A and B are shown apart, each in its own frame.
Chain A
Amino acid sequence: MDIFEVRDVTTGYDKKVVIENFNMTIPKGQITSIVGPNGCGKTTLLHTLTRVLKIKYGAVLMDGKDIFAMNTKNVAKRLSLLPQMSNAPDGLTVRELIGYGRHPHKKPFEGLNQWDYENIDWAVDVTGIKAFTDRPVSELSGGQKQRVWLAMALAQNTDIILLDEPTTYLDMKFQMEILNLLKSLNETADKTIVMVLHDINHASRFSDHMIALKEGGIRKLGKPETVMTESVLKEVFEVDAVISECPFTSRPIITSYQLKG
């Protein structure tokens, strides 16, 4: 069962076409990672799925319905996005920012209710940011900010979560914590997770489904075992990689690599 279907999509920024006649599906209830070199269209693809970027041709379907034709607030009840790092206005506190995640569930001028607070508290809890919920976001470190924005996306309480490089700015421990959190959300709450990941070992360890992009096109997709092969990595990333098995998860991981010979 697919939750997203991208059908013959062409899009890009201004006159620059980034992806052309693109076709892809994203499975429901699974973790999908999009990997590829810089500038391959990963973020563009994620922005297309979240209707942040309008498409020139084609259609993006969510559960069979055109996402650009749907009421945008109804889309927001199903789908949240963690964008790449962004600044918050001066003085905005962590708790206030996370509260905005409840916006799609509110009528104009409706205040937060018990159910909203439960969602906010839960998001604060699972992202481990309880210690600084009353501080201004602008005063936090990069890693703390990243977790706060993630908490905001989680407070939106959607069944689909899209993340643009969620582990950036985080140290090794928090990278694992965030990825474990996403995995448990997927397993226990049946959330569909789609993320752009820079670290393909992380992608391999935590995804059910991988999509390798290059120059705006899919070069390989499928289970990590299908994508994490020497020939695919050589084609997509232009490196010679040594692949072995992760001792913790038995998934394929790169132990080292060099530039393509």
Chain B
Amino acid sequence: MRYIMIFSISTIVLVSGILLSLYSGAADITAGDIRAALLNFDASDNVHVIINEIRLPRALAAAVVGAAFSVSGAVMQAMTRNPLAEPGLLGINSGALFFLTIAFSFFPHLPYLYLVLLSFAGVLFSALIVFAAVYFSKSRMTPLKLILAGVAVTLFFSSLSAALQVYFDVGQEIAFWSAGAIQNIDWHNLLIITPWFIIGMIMVMLISSNLTAISLNEETAISLGIHMTRTRIIALLAVVISAGLAVSAVGAVAFVGLITPHITRKIAGSDYKVILPLSGVLGAVLVVYSDLAARSLFAPVEIPVAVLIALIGVPFFLYLAGRVRHEI
């Protein structure tokens, strides 16, 4: 009952955020315009086009990537039993960056969708290396090993990217692309990303009770009859798909996967059947409102949403790190 109320409130906050996003921006738009644009869309009306073709897909994209980062973070934290874990630990951000750098260095002027797909190829590539390193290490797979492999891959790809960016002088373009990626999302891209996000969410919901048991401790999970290998594979695949596509679409927005799962656990306890969907909604809320703030605070100048979230995220991370009692 309490959870239903929390869900309803957060969903109302989310929908309000999306509506606010439609309302606020450079062009003057009234509530009536929004209603008209959503209900009787007129392609010849400029205001309708701005609402429907620019602001709505952007707000929805913010919601989808926010949910994807947040749920992926919650899954990573359950699996590693470490409240500081997040999807970036799998090396996927650096893989995406590396492939983007190659694209900008060798194939400039690729359309947005191609860049997204290339980034995602980078995500898959880096995740594959991390998993292979852990799989072929002969010894037991532990969360710590996964994190170490992820850190190594991240350093490797970041260094390669940095070198390429200096050599081909594309650093600024990439920074510019990453900072503004969320603006470039249109309906076409959104419709490509969203079904995969939904598949990822279904996958993690199917293993949600296993994740709860794993978050207790590994011995207990096994003696409760949890299939560890199967659960881990499904969880990692879901993280790579949903967080990977989010990174590819809007660049690495760090800390979402850290902040909202933590807040969610504070509100909703320790059952991942509740934590996963709620952290999805709250992650969407965080990114939608951050995006709104990022483009209204210093309008007409936009600050990158990732920068804004990092401003909240860094102190939050330090606060969390100070509170962690458990070993990795």
Q: Which of B225, B226, B270 has a CB less than 8 Å from the CB of A89?
A: B270
State whether the Cβ of A36 lies closer than 8 Å to any Cβ in chain B: no
- Stretch from A57-65, A97-105, A213-221, A222-230 contacting the other chain: A97-105
Q: In the complex, are the beta carbons of A83 and B215 less than 8 A apart? A: no
User: What mask results when residues 210 to 227 of chain B are scored 1 for a CB within 8 Å of chain A, else 0?
Assistant: 001101111110111111
Nearest A residue (CB) for B262: A90
Contacts of B216 in A (CB 8 A): 86, 88-89, 92, 97, 100
User: Do the beta carbons of B209 and A72 come within 8 Å of each other?
Assistant: no
Whether the Cβ atoms of A72 and B227 lie closer than 8 Å is: yes
Q: Decide yes or no: A96 and B266 within 8 Å by CB, A14-B139, A87-B326 being known contacts.
A: no
Is B295 an interface residue, CB under 8 A from the partner? no
Q: A76-B223, A100-B224 are in contact. Are A86 and B206 (CB under 8 A)?
A: no
**A115 within 8 A of partner (CB):** no
Nearest opposing residue in chain B for A72, CB measure: B225
CB distance from A192 to the nearest CB of B (A): 15
B-chain residues with CB within 8 Å of residue A108 when the two chains form the complex: 206, 209
- How far is A80 from B224 in the complex, measured between Cα atoms in Å? 7
Size category, A interface: 35 or more
Residues of A within 8 A of B222 (CB): 50-52, 72, 81
**Is there an interface contact between B223 and A52, defined as CB atoms closer than 8 Å?**
yes
Q: Are A92 and B219 in contact (CB under 8 A)?
A: no
Pairs A–B under 8 Å by Cβ, sample size 26: A13-B139, A47-B219, A50-B222, A52-B218, A52-B219, A72-B225, A72-B227, A73-B227, A80-B223, A83-B220, A86-B216, A86-B217, A87-B326, A88-B216, A89-B215, A89-B216, A91-B265, A92-B216, A92-B269, A96-B269, A100-B213, A103-B209, A103-B224, A153-B223, A156-B223, A156-B224
B positions within 8 Å CB-CB of A:
139-140, 206, 209, 212-213, 215-220, 222-227, 265-266, 269-271, 273, 325-326
Interface residues of A (CB under 8 A from B): 13-15, 47, 50-52, 54, 72-77, 79-81, 83, 86-93, 96-97, 100-101, 103-104, 106, 108-109, 152-153, 156
Nearest 4 interchain pairs by C-beta: A76-B225, A81-B223, A73-B225, A14-B139
